Each structure stands twice: as C-alpha cells, then as structure tokens.
Structure 1
Amino acid sequence: MGVEVSPDVKRDEVEGPVKKILDGEEGMKMRAKAKEWKSVETTDIQGEGSSYNNFKRLIEALQCGK
C-alpha cells in the first residue's frame, strides 16, 4: 500500500491518510484486496494455476530444443 506525498510533507499532513489506511473502511477494503491477491498468487505458483503451467511449458519447450 502506498500514499503519495510531497518531499516537504509535514507530520500532520500524513496523519489523516495513515489513519484512513489503518482504521478506516478504505483500509479494510485494501487489506481484503491484498489477501485476495495473495490467495490468487499462492494458487498460481503451487502447481494449479496459470503461472505454474506457463513455466512448465517453457521448461518443456527448452528441453525439447536440446
């Protein structure tokens, strides 16, 4: 997660966005989305998803070229 701020930002200018992320509904939505993406990523790399299958096909193609 990130919040863009200017180089000369003051402490009180950061407090609001940080509280929004930590305590607010927007932060809850961001955390839920991060968990969802983590689940998708985990599935993809554990032999059941597209990333695993694409990597496997690449290795097989490279082995056929030997």
Structure 2
Amino acid sequence: MVAKESTQVSEAEEVLPRLMRRYREEIVPAMVERFGYGNPLAVPRLEKIVVNMGVGGAVTERGRIERAVEELG
C-alpha cells in the first residue's frame, strides 16, 4: 500500500503546470539570491494567475477567436 501512494506522488509531479515548474526551478532560486531569503519557503508564493483577453469583436468576426487562441498558445 505504501508503494501505491508513492506512485501517485510521482505522477502528480509529472503534470505540474509549466508556469509553476518555471516558478519553482528558475524564479524562486533567483529571488532567494537577489533578496537574500534564508529559506526558499520564505519566497512569496503565487496563488492564482489570470489571463484576460478582450475579444468582443468575435461576435461579428469569427477569425478573431482563432487569432486570439494562436496569440495565447
């Protein structure tokens, strides 16, 4: 039963969102170095990232949605 739980943890790490992975691997170490945090857990954490993009003209022009998706992708 213990082996099953450890398998679930490793699967969860594989599906880590790319921005969260970048934050943990690049941004946190840079902030520790720049601001002199004694512990990586002292670095402020991100709670939520929201991307807002107005595509109000998409009601009349169908291509706007497709272009917006390409820009975000």
Fold shared per TM-score above 0.5: no
Larger radius of gyration: 1
TM-score (norm 1): 0.38
TM-score (norm 2): 0.35
